[in-house]
Amino acid sequence: MKRNLNKNSCLTSNRWKKSLFVFAVLCVGGSGVKTLAAGRIGASQDLMLMNDTTKMVTGVPLKPEDISPLLVGENIPVLKLLKSSGESFDLNKSVAGKPTILVFYRGGWCPYCSKQLSGLQEVDQDLTKMGYQIIAISTDSPENLTKTMVKQKLSYTLLSDAELNAARKFGIAFKGPRSYDSFLRESSGGKNVNKLLPVPSVFILNNKGTILFEYINPDITERLSASLLKAAAAALRKQI
């Protein structure tokens, strides 16, 4: 499926446009949400992209910049995940009940993810007043989700995608670096046998499960700020 940026997409990749490395920056102003894009490309990179030689393993790309995610306008897949308590959680049923800020993060062991989760907690009440709920998904086992919730005093829902089924279906899974092999298996409770990771992502969904906005960035140090997420959510209220 061909995937293109649109006005509510904010992502960095080299796969969605074969002749251009695209960096899209979200802007929120009086007219709502829009994106500005700037590009750069080198000769060797251009040749690589023209040949479309993305390397895959276990059905996912080896590099985070080669993912092919669901984009704005598409519906989320049918998914059941585990809560921190170990209970089954029907994601689609929950989304049908309330518009959702859906966040994919790597795990509680990731300092950039921890900072992002804390930022989400700071705006949780504001987003709730707008009619949203926050759901955050990671590779962590239910037990490790509990540790994260207690340590960071989180009030929103954390879900375990230890086998990366959700990340695969969203098109954001890739093969983690070899240096991560030991603790990816351990932090997932032994379920992440292929040692995969999700590219950190944020999706805003309506109650039909349609993606209205997204931010996807293979650079793990760059996350959508809580204030910018709040602004995007406010701009989209009329669409939910």
Which CATH number is 134's domain given? 3.40.30.10
**Is residue 92 assigned to a domain?**
yes
Taking residues 175-183, what's their average pLDDT?
Answer: 90
Residue of higher predicted confidence among 60 and 10: 60
Confidence of residue 26 (pLDDT cuts 50, 70, 90): very low
Strand spans (E) along the chain: 9-13, 21-29, 32-40, 56-57, 60-61, 80-83, 88-90, 100-104, 133-138, 157-160, 173-175, 196-198, 201-205, 211-216
What are the counts of helices (DSSP H) followed by strands (DSSP E) for the chain?
A: 7, 14
Strand partners, 87: none
- Alpha-carbon Rg for the chain in angstroms: 17
At residue 36, does pLDDT exceed 70? no
Q: What is the pLDDT, as a whole number, of residue 54?
A: 58
Range with the lowest mean pLDDT among 20-24, 64-68, 213-217? 20-24
Q: What is the pLDDT, as a whole number, of residue 114?
A: 97
**Is residue 31 assigned to a domain?**
no
Burial (CB count within 10 angstroms: exposed 0-12, middle 13-18, buried 19+), residue 205: buried
Report the domain count for the chain: 1
Residue 160 · residue 48 · CB < 8 Å: no
Taking residues 102-130, what's their average pLDDT?
Answer: 97
**Is residue 28 assigned to a domain?**
no
Q: What is the pLDDT, as a whole number, of residue 18?
A: 31
At residue 108, does pLDDT exceed 70? yes
Confidence of residue 3 (pLDDT cuts 50, 70, 90): low
Q: What is the pLDDT, as a whole number, of residue 10?
A: 59
**Is residue 147 assigned to a domain?**
yes
Range with the lowest mean pLDDT among 36-40, 89-93, 135-139, 155-159? 36-40
**Is residue 12 assigned to a domain?**
no
Confidence of residue 6 (pLDDT cuts 50, 70, 90): low
Taking residues 52-62, what's their average pLDDT?
Answer: 74
**Is residue 53 assigned to a domain?**
no
Range with the lowest mean pLDDT among 31-45, 62-76, 156-170? 31-45
Summarize pLDDT for 188-222 with one digit per residue, the tens. 999 999 999 999 999 999 999 999 999 999 999 99
**Which region holds residue 232: left if phi is over 0, alpha if psi is between -120 and 50, else beta?**
alpha
What residue numbers bound the domain in which 233 lies? Answer: 63-239
Percent pLDDT > 90 in the chain is 72
At residue 43, does pLDDT exceed 60? no
Confidence of residue 92 (pLDDT cuts 50, 70, 90): very high
**Is residue 1 assigned to a domain?**
no
Concatenate the DSSP letters of all residues of 183-215 into one string.
Answer: HHHHHTTT--TT-EEEPPEEEEE-TT-BEEEEE
Block residue for tokens 């994106």: 35
**Is residue 44 assigned to a domain?**
no
Q: What is the pLDDT, as a whole number, of residue 32?
A: 43
Whole-angstrom distance, CA of residue 113 vs CA of residue 24: 21
At residue 16, does pLDDT exceed 90? no
- CA–CA distances in Å: residue 224 to residues 54, 80, 181, 219: 27, 26, 27, 11
Residue 72 · residue 11 · CB < 8 Å: no
